[in-house]
Amino acid sequence: MTFHSQRCVVVLATDMRWGFDSSLGEEANRFRFLTPSMGSEMVHRDGEAFVEVDPSGRYGRYGELLGSGAVKKVYRAFDQEEGIEVAWNLVKLRSFLGDEAMINRLYSEVRLLRTLKNKNIIALYSVWQDEEKNTLNFITEVCTSGNLREYRKKHRHVSMKALKKWSKQILKGLDYLHTHEPCVIHRDLNCSNVFVNGNVGQVKIGDLGLAATVGKNHSAHSLLGTPEFMAPELYDENYTELIDIYSFGMCLLEMVTLELPYSECDNVAKIYKKVTSGLRPQAMNKVKDPEVKEFIEKCLAQPRARPSAADLLKDPFFDGIDDGENNADNHSIN
């Protein structure tokens, strides 16, 4: 679970006072600074009460939980300066004291996000550590419709044209990551890590907690990810950014079939056996459109034959498909 890098991205600068805690490890201390106590009292504004505000007083957190995972909780929040809703990501560091690899992973996500500027990647606005509560907090943009898996389950009748628009945007995000300097491999792309602004048909890649930056040879060597979406070479712990293309193919398969890849397997060992044997998920049998099946197969090909995100964006599969991010204009009243 270590952050693997041959050429690290730039650490963000801050005007806060720096502190050092030997129990957190060097990577974590790059982001550690002493913050004023927010207290536990409710901070009232004209409308809904904030549970807490950030040290600058700009961002206020509400009590509403947007989502949670093994590492963090995400709350609805508000940017008072810009007048927009944002996501307040909160990680309790006390749970990970002594686990330097996990702490480094958390700070790696924050550091990576701060360097990435792309309309199909979730943006990071601010980050700080609360010394009193021993939490890492960071503010990101919020997508109004949740993640792609939830969104697709909610809206079961979606045209192939719409699925292609979403797919094109995901590939644009991947192309940005893979051509970034240094190259960024997501390593855990799946439909729960892609987020949706449903009112404009926009999708964005998020949850870069397992991402790695790599040097010129674009190779990495750590076993990480979600088993159903992991490329065979990832199990060998010798891979490139093309593992994200494999994962994207599985995302498209899930979007088309509304079925998690390898759902026929009841444990990780069975998934591993199928993947490493080159056996496709049973969900592939539900894909009736030959064009769609052929495109997914391209994404799942062996690494040497697997196309890049840039190559896939040029594929005839996307002929006549725009990004789908200007749907408001397409629905104007004549």
Active site residues: 207
Spatial separation of the C-alpha atoms in residues 125 and 121, rounded to whole Å: 13
How far is residue 129's CA from residue 56's CA, in Å, rounded to a whole number? 12
Copy the structure tokens of residue 148: 């792609």
Helix count and strand count (H, E) for the chain: 10, 10
* Cβ pair 49, 39 in contact under 8 A: no
Distance CA 241, CA 255 (A): 22
**Strands, E assignment, the chain:** 52-53, 59-68, 73-79, 84-92, 124-130, 135-141, 183-185, 194-197, 202-205, 212-214
Q: Report DSSP state, residue 46.
A: S
Q: Phi/psi zone of residue 40: left (φ > 0), alpha (ψ -120 to 50 degrees), beta? A: alpha
Rounded Cα gap, residues 162 and 190, in angstroms: 18
Q: Please, which residues bridge with residue 29 across strands?
A: none
What span, in angstroms and rounded, lies between the C-alpha atoms of 220 and 4?
Answer: 7
Q: Give which of 78, 76, 72, 86 is closest to 135, Cα–Cα.
A: 72
Residue for token digits 């855990």? 188
HSE, side-chain direction, 13 A CA sphere, residue 122: 29
